[in-house]
Amino acid sequence: MGNLADAIENFILSRLADEEKQVAVLRRNEMADELNCAPSQISYVLSTRFTVERGFIVESRRGSGGFVRIVRIPVRQIVYEDAARQLGEVARADELERTIERLRMYGMLSDREAGIMQHFFQASGDRLDAAEKVRILRSLLRRLTDFE
């Protein structure tokens, strides 16, 4: 299904790109007619290439009035929010460093961003308590979602 699946994926992605809010509402049968394929092939592509792990939510209704709604989720936002949520209310310095380093290793923070954050927490030393450091790191991670 390689070439056809690629064509279906590209068709859907182009429709998403046209939408300002990163939400596309499509009709499966109309897509199948336009792409000269079976509706089940559209379903296959939706279930394998438009997953939450890849940054999409798909809502599908079948039947004569059926539709497919595809929403693009900013993956970075999910990762940053998850990292912020995983921090306890009071985290030790090494836990903050590990969180920052893990995000850097996975390409979610640049070397520069990670270095600045780590330096800030090291330099703040005992002037900030653990709860305040966690609050600041959470705030920084949530702020990064604004810079997709």
Residue 88 gets which letter from DSSP? -
The list of the chain residues with pLDDT below 50 reads: 1
Instruction: Give the distance between the most distant pair of CA atoms in the chain.
Output: 66
Angle, helices 2-18 vs 28-35, to 10°: value is 120
- Tell me what pLDDT residue 111 has: 93
- Tell me what pLDDT residue 142 has: 82
Domain spans in the chain, listed from the N-terminal domain onward:
2-72, 75-147
CA 113 to CA 94: how far, in whole Å? 17
- Tell me what pLDDT residue 130 has: 85
- Tell me what pLDDT residue 72 has: 85
CATH number of 2-72: 3.30.56.130
- Tell me what pLDDT residue 95 has: 86
- What is the bridge-based pairing of β-strands 56-61 and 67-72? antiparallel
- Tell me what pLDDT residue 2 has: 60
- Tell me what pLDDT residue 114 has: 93
Q: How many CB atoms lie within 10 A of CB 83?
A: 20
* Per-residue tokens: 109: 């923070």
pTM of model > 0.85? no
Residues pairing with 56 in the sheet: 72
